[in-house]
Amino acid sequence: MEHQCSKQRTGRPYAYRRAERGQSLVFIALVLAFLTPFIFTVIEFSERQMEVAQMEDALQQSIRSAVQAFDYAHLARNGQRIDQQRALQTARETFVRNLSTVSGLVERPEALAERVTWRVLPEGGTCSFSDGQAQTFDRPAMCAEVRPVMTGFGLLGYAPYRPLITAAATLDALEQ
């Protein structure tokens, strides 16, 4: 029976030592014990980032659609203003539709849409969000914010989280 040997550099040019069976198995087991939770954490973090991005897109697209609800009577007088009723209705309906593509939501889209704080600025103004940020508009604008309950991927059993999602859009400029 042959013994496997491996070269080992010591002080002598060609010193050999006998390789023990199963050495690499122990090494792989130790590496996997630390690597697996790290990989799962990276997957969880990536999933949460994707869910937040989907929620931001859903809210931003609903605001962009809703802000284009003109007050046509005001437009006929060469003015520019948002019809608040139509804008809010359009925003809610579009947001509920957009939520069908968002993963990781705990609550129903209709219930979440009811919790959104919508702000219509028919002639411009400042939108202040609960995190202290503010945006000022010189034209008609609309803003929204919500804290949805989201789950993440759940590989490591992290608790649901509530990111603050904000969106704002202004009415396109009227060229005269």
Give pLDDT tens digits for 98-134: 998 888 888 999 999 999 999 998 888 899 999 999 9
Residue recorded with tokens 């702000």: 119
Lowest mean pLDDT among 84-98, 121-135, 149-163: 149-163
Judged on CB neighbours under 10 Å (0-12, 13-18, 19+), 97 is: middle
Residue 32 has pLDDT above 80, yes or no: yes
The token pair that represents 96 in the structure block: 């509920």
pTM, full prediction: 0.74
- Cα–Cα distance list, 151 to 57, 66, 74, 104 (Å): 18, 28, 45, 5
Q: How many CB atoms lie within 10 A of CB 121?
A: 23
Dihedral sign of CA atoms 130, 131, 132, 133 in order: negative
Cα separation, 144 vs 129, in Å, equals 8
For position 15, what pLDDT does the model report?
60
Average model confidence (pLDDT) across the chain: 82
Q: For residue range 67-78, list pLDDT tens digits in order.
A: 887 765 666 666
Backbone φ and ψ for 66, nearest 5 degrees, come out as: -70, -35
